[in-house]
Amino acid sequence: KEQLDVLRLREQFPVLEREVHGKPLVYLDNAATAQRPLSVIEAMDDFYRRYNANVHRGVHQLSVEASEAFETARKDVARLLNATSDREVIFTRGTTEAINLVANSYLRPRVKAGDEILISHMEHHSNIVPWQLLCEQTGAVLKVIPINEKGELMLDALEDLIGERTRLLGLVHVSNALGTVNPVREVCEIARRHGVPVLIDGAQATPHEQVDVQAIGCDFYAMSAHKMYGPTGIGALWGREALLEEMPPWQGGGEMILRVSFDETTYNELPHKFEAGTPNISGAIGLGAAVRFLFDTGIEKIARHEQALLEYATERMSKIEGLRIIGQAAHKGPVIAFTLDGVHPNDIGTIIDHHGVAIRTGHHCAMPVMQFFDVPATARVSFAAYNLRAEIDVFLNALEKARQMLV
C-alpha cells in the first residue's frame, strides 16, 4: 500500500520549521490541537484578501462568493462524515458547542425528572458537564458505563445500564486521555434496540480515521476543525435530519429566522435554524480546506502512518523502567498517556520542553479517568500525519534526561 511521504508533507506546515529553546520543535501535542497546512492558512488569507463579506444576505458579488465558499465548506464536512445531506451539518464553535446544542435543543424538551442520560467513564468534560447541567435543571439522572483497567468500555455493563428511562447515550469515539477507540457501531446497535439515540464525540476521531455516520449508526456526531488541521473556533454537529427538523432553535438572532414580528416569529430551515448571527466564515472556509487536505493526503495513509508511530513509541516506552502507560486498549488512536514513578507529569513536560519537545501534561479535561487510575495527572504524547519516528527518538531521549534528573 502507498506510504505517506511525510518529509514532503511537512513542507506544508510552516510551524514545523520553528526552533524552541534553540532546538528544532518536536510537536507531539496533536490531541490538544493539530498544526495547520499552508492550504488552510492560504484559504483563509485568500478570503480576507479577495472576497471578505457577510454571507446569505448580500446581493453584491463579494457576498455571493463568500456565501458560496461557506456553503461549499458545509458540503465538504458532509462528505467527510458521509452525511445524507449538507442540511444535516450545523456549524458550531467546536465539539463542546455541538454537544451543548444537543443537550439544550434535543434533550431538554424531552427529558423529565427521573429520566436517565447515559455516558461512559472515559468522557471528556465536554461530554459530561452539559448533561450534568441538564440533570440539575430537570431532575434527570446521569448514569455512567464503567471502564476496565485497560481503559476499555465494559460493554456488558451497557446492557444492564440502558433501559426505558434512558433518553440519550453520549460516547466518545476516541478517548483523548486514554487513546481508546470505542466500538461505536456495536454501541449504537445496542442503543437502537432500546430506542435510545446516540451522540458520538468525534473530536479525536475525524483527524485519524474515515468517519462514516451511516455505518456507525449514531444520531449525532460532534467534531472540531482544530483537531483535524483546521482553525480553532469552528466545528460541526452532524444530526439525523428527522431529529434536527423536530428540534427547536437553541440560539435566537439573525440568520435563524424567516420572519420576525412582535406577534410571531418563524424560524429558518435546516441548517440555518441552528446558526444564529454572523457565522465564523473564515473558520468554515478553513475547515473546508482542512477536509480537502485530509482527502488529498489520504485519510487511510495518515491512519497507517500514525498507527506505525503509535506502535513504535509504545514498544519503546514499554521498556522504560518506572513508566506506566495509562490506557492499554486493544484498539487505540495515536495517543499515549503515561506516568513515571516518583515524578509529577508536569515536571516531565517542563523539562522536555527545554529539549524542544511539546507534549501535554495534566488531566486532559477527563478528571474521572484520572480518578479511576488513581493518578493526579498524566503526561501525554499524541501523533499527527507530519510526525516522524526520529521525532519519537528525540522525545524519548528528552524523557530519559528528565527521568535521570527527576527520579
Ligand X SMILES: Cc1ncc(COP(=O)(O)O)c(CN[C@@H](CS)C(=O)O)c1O
Q: Could you tell me where the DSSP H helices lie in 24-126?
A: 38-46, 61-81, 95-101
Cβ nearer to ligand X, comparing 78 with 287: 287
Residue 404's contacts (CB-CB under 8 Å, 6 or more residues apart) are none
> Which of 196, 110, 199, 109 has its CA nearest to residue 161?
196
Q: How far is the CB of 373 from ligand X (least distance, A)?
A: 16
Which of 135, 188, 218, 365 is an active site residue? 365
Task: Find out whether 364 and 327 touch, Cβ atoms under 8 Å.
Answer: no
- Measured from the CB atom, is 67 or 92 closer to ligand X? 92
Phi first, then psi, for residue 196 (nearest 5°) are -105, 125
207 within 8 A of 184, measured Cβ to Cβ: no
135 as an active site residue: the answer is no
**Pairwise CA distance, residues 357 & 25, whole Å:** 6
- Of residues 12 and 95, the one with the C-beta less far from ligand X: 95
Q: Give me the least distance between CB of 22 and ligand X, in Å please.
A: 26
Residue 66 C-beta: closest distance to ligand X, Å: 24
What is the closest distance, in whole angstroms, from the C-beta atom of residue 336 to ligand X in the complex?
13
Distances, alpha carbon 3 to alpha carbons 6, 162, 355, 387, 389, in Å: 9, 43, 29, 14, 14
Give whichever of 172 and 211 is closer to ligand X, judged by the CB atom: 172
Nearer to ligand X, 55 or 335 (CB): 335
Q: Give kind and range of the element (H or E) at residue 257.
A: strand 257-260
Q: Determine the Cα–Cα distance for residues 269 and 85; give it in Å rounded to an integer.
A: 13
Q: Packing angle between helix 299-317 and helix 389-406, nearest 10 degrees? A: 30
Which spans of this chain sit near ligand X (rule: CB under 6 A)? 31-32, 94-96, 124, 126, 172, 176, 201, 203-204, 224, 226, 235, 360, 364-365
Catalytic residue list? 365
